[in-house]
């Protein structure tokens, strides 16, 4: 069992799992809604996708702010001792790239929506300012980037989960418990 100093704070744990659930839901919704024929239901899902993206952006800002003001615990010595250098680099690189994509995916989506002339209306009643001016050429340029970045985020999430499962079931080093509920 990790010591209390080896665990993330309760706030960090809640933010981690809220963001995880939100991102998985958004990825699933994004893949589902793009396959639908044009209909009122598809437009409704696109609007939900946009406001959920803004909520995820806000959670990401909160999470990064929390991380800056509440440093995460260092990897325990017993984990570092058995972790090859390439895994430490992969660990740091994956986390850094995840944080970048937590911001890039919703911001590019917001920019695409604005450039396409479709405003983001948070929860269906609070119109947000356009992130960029309406510009059809810019919208066409941004559209594939939102999807590509979302797929890159999905790939990194899979890598992150596989790494956590490796530590839990192969290394059996207790690393997963640092970000799990309870003591």
> Tens digits of per-residue pLDDT, 109-130?
999 999 999 999 999 899 999 9
The domain containing residue 168 runs over which residues? Answer: 4-179
Would you place residue 4 in the very low, low, confident or very high pLDDT band (cuts 50, 70, 90)? Answer: low
Burial group, residue 50, by CB count within 10 angstroms (0-12, 13-18, 19+):
buried
Q: Are 108 and 152 in contact (CB under 8 A)?
A: no
Q: Which residues contact 46 (CB under 8 A, 6 or more apart)?
A: 33, 118
> How many structural domains does the chain have?
1
Q: Which of 23, 14, 22, 20 is nearest to 70 (CA)?
A: 14
pLDDT > 90? residue 44:
yes
Would you place residue 79 in the very low, low, confident or very high pLDDT band (cuts 50, 70, 90)? Answer: very high
Q: Which residue has the tokens 């909520």?
A: 55
pLDDT > 80? residue 1:
no
Q: Which residue has the tokens 């983001």?
A: 120
CATH number, position 9: 1.20.950.20
C-alpha distances (whole Å) from 15 to each of 84, 97, 147, 155, 175 are 29, 17, 24, 20, 18
pTM of the model: 0.93
């Amino acid at each position: 069992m990790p010591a209390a100093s080896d665990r993330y704070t309760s706030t960090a744990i809640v933010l981690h799992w809220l963001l995880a659930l939100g991102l998985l839901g958004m990825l699933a919704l994004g893949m589902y809604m793009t396959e639908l024929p044009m209909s009122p239901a598809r437009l409704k899902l696109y609007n939900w996708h946009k406001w959920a993206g803004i909520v995820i952006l806000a959670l990401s800002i909160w999470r990064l702010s929390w991380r800056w003001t509440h440093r995460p615990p260092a990897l325990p010595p017993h984990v570092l001792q058995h972790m090859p250098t390439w895994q430490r680099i992969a660990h740091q690189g994956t986390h850094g790239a995840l944080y970048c994509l937590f911001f890039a995916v919703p911001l590019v989506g917001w920019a695409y929506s604005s450039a396409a002339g479709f405003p983001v209306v948070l929860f269906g009643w609070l119109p947000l300012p356009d992130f960029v001016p309406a510009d059809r050429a810019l919208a066409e340029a941004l559209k594939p980037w939102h999807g590509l970045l979302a797929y890159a985020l999905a790939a990194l999430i899979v890598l992150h989960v596989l790494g956590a499962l490796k530590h839990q079931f192969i290394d059996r080093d207790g690393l997963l418990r640092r970000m799990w509920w309870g003591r």
